[in-house]
Amino acid sequence: MEYRRSLLGEKQRRHRAVLELLAEKSGWGQPLPAGRARGLAIHESFGSVVGEVAEVSMESGRPRVHRVVAVIDCGVAVNPRLIAAQLESAVNYGLSAALYGEITFADGKLQQENFDTYPVMRINEAPVVEAHVLPSNEPPSGVGEPGLPPIAPAVANAIFALTDKRVRRLPMVRGNTFTA
């Protein structure tokens, strides 16, 4: 968090505001239960700035995401409840892609033909997602897509904090073995 703050220039006031609210709402710097770590990522697209903190542990060498705190500055919030729902959805969709999303072929045949062979985030795996809309006077901007890109790097940063190993491949649960 401190390093990310130090990289922000004077013109990145929206990024700084997102980071400040994210630090407050996520409890950044506060102790976590043993075996858990936080990772942070921030992203700008479609005129919005989104930051996410993922709280992660490792279970049998695989990441388990327990909690995600997301903050968005999307300008004037026309419908804050809809914006929160978009962030919650983006986090879970992004986690499905980051953890499991892979399409493979064998002998020219698609191996993932339906959801029984293409894993996605299941309800029992879904983290608690806390979505916060930063009050802003900027013009309204995007709320659907901007919440997705920061989740994979936030989880990867938490994995690094836990294991001292960088995530170099996606999906995270295939081709990666992590130990805490």
How do residues 23-66 score in pLDDT, each as one tens digit? 999 999 999 999 999 999 999 999 999 999 999 999 988 999 99
> Is the alpha carbon torsion for 53, 55, 58, 64 positive or negative?
negative
Domains of the chain by residue range? 2-163
Rg of the chain over all Cα atoms, to the nearest angstrom: 17
* CATH code matching the domain that covers 2-163, chosen among 3.30.750.24, 3.30.365.10, 3.30.70.2190, 3.40.720.10: 3.30.365.10
Average pLDDT over residues 100-108: 91
Average pLDDT over residues 157-176: 89
| Best mean pLDDT range from 50-54, 109-113, 163-167 | 50-54
Average pLDDT over residues 8-17: 91
Q: Give the range among 21-30, 50-59, 152-161, 171-180 with minimum mean pLDDT.
A: 171-180
pLDDT, residue 178, reads 67
Alpha carbons 158 and 156: distance in angstroms, whole number: 5
Q: What angle do CA 173, 111, 102 make, to 5 degrees?
A: 30
pLDDT, residue 98, reads 95
Q: What is the residue-wise DSSP string for 9-37? A: -TT-HHHHHHHHHHHHHHTTTS---TTEE
